[in-house]
Amino acid sequence: MFDTALTMADLGFLAQGAAMTLAVTVVSVIAGTVLGIVFGVIRNQAGTYWSLPLTFLLDIFRSVPLLIQLVLGNALQSILKLGWAPFTTSCVVLSLYTAAYCTEIVRGGISSVPPTTRRAARSLGLTWWQDMRYIVAPLATRVSLPAWIGLTLGVMKDSALVLWLGLIELLRASQILVTRLQEPLFILLICGAIYFIISFPIARLGGYLERRWSND
């Protein structure tokens, strides 16, 4: 009834692509989150006025298409003769992109902690660092985690764009198979299903945490 030229080896090729997608995502999200936390704390400490340059810089990453950022990043690394592999360039650009969004999430989380709570902590003799570590971090995480999960999934989906730099991730892998087997719909459906299977359960978890942890 239905026959296809798709072999097990081809499925393995798709799985390799999916592994590449996940690798780029994991590296970028980890680096981006660390940067985002640092920038978020800086923005919160410095106040609106003094963090204006940082705000502007990070806003650029959210207002310019990721594809353009990737091309620019790649051009820049070749201008500076850094000799980065496409994987490195992709991860660096995606990390900065992630950091730009993560900063907003972290900032939102920190400012959701009532100032009175923090003042209470400080007047009990906690240092700034202890206040951050034992008071702000646990409370802010509750507020920020659902948004952060959403961001992670967003980066996972956006990581498809790294195919433009020649990296063979999931979508590029399926495109290669389409070119060879001429069965675009079937192969793209498999590709979409893989994305969906990765993304959907985590999205559900995020929604659950958001409901479970909301204060009302």
Partner 1 sequence: MFSYTFHWNQAFKALPQMLEGALVTLQIAILSMAIGLAVALALTLFRMSGNRILSGFATAWVEIARNTPALFQIYMAHFGLGNFGIHLSPYTALLVGIAFNNAGYLAENFRGALKAIPETQTRAGRSLGMTSLQAFRYIVLPQMLRVAFLPATNQMVWAILMTSLGVTVGMNTDLAGITQELNARSFRTFEFFALAAVIYYLIAKAVTLAARLAATRMFRY
Per-residue x/- marks for partner 1, 72-101, CB under 8 A? x-xxx--xxx--------------------
Please, which residue, 163 or 167, has the CB nearer to partner 1? 163
The rounded distance, in Å, linking the Cα atoms of 156 and 98 is 10
Please, which residue, 123 or 215, has the CB nearer to partner 1? 215
Provide the residue type at 178 as one letter. Answer: V
Q: Which residues contact 170 (CB under 8 A, 6 or more apart)?
A: 14, 17, 18, 20, 21, 160, 191, 194, 195
Binding of partner 1 at residue 5 (CB under 8 A)? no
The string of DSSP codes covering 4-52 is ----HHHHHHHHHHHHHHHHHHHHHHHHHHHHHHHHHHHHHHHHHHHTH
C-alpha distance across the termini of the chain, in Å: 54
Question: Segment contacting partner 1 (CB under 8 A): 35-43, 95-103, 126-134, 150-158?
Answer: 150-158
Binding of partner 1 at residue 191 (CB under 8 A)? yes
Please, which residue, 55 or 199, has the CB nearer to partner 1? 199
Binding of partner 1 at residue 60 (CB under 8 A)? yes
Among residues 175, 31, 168, which one has the least CA distance to residue 87? 168
What's the closest the beta carbon of residue 216 comes to partner 1, in angstroms? Answer: 12
Among 22, 38, 67, 126, binds partner 1 (CB under 8 A): 67
What's the closest the beta carbon of residue 203 comes to partner 1, in angstroms? Answer: 6
Please, which residue, 71 or 209, has the CB nearer to partner 1? 71
Q: Which residue has the tokens 């790294």?
A: 162
Binding of partner 1 at residue 22 (CB under 8 A)? no
* Residue pair 77/153 in contact by the 8 Å Cβ criterion: no
**What are the backbone angles phi and psi of residue 124, rounded to the nearest 5°?**
-80, -5
Binding of partner 1 at residue 69 (CB under 8 A)? yes
Binding of partner 1 at residue 54 (CB under 8 A)? no
Residue 119 sits at the vertex; the CA angle it makes with 113 and 125, to the nearest 5 degrees, is 125
What does the binding site for partner 1 look like in residue numbers (CB under 8 A)? 60, 63-69, 71-72, 74-76, 79-81, 153, 157-158, 160-161, 163-164, 171, 175, 178, 183-186, 188-189, 191-192, 195-196, 199-200, 203
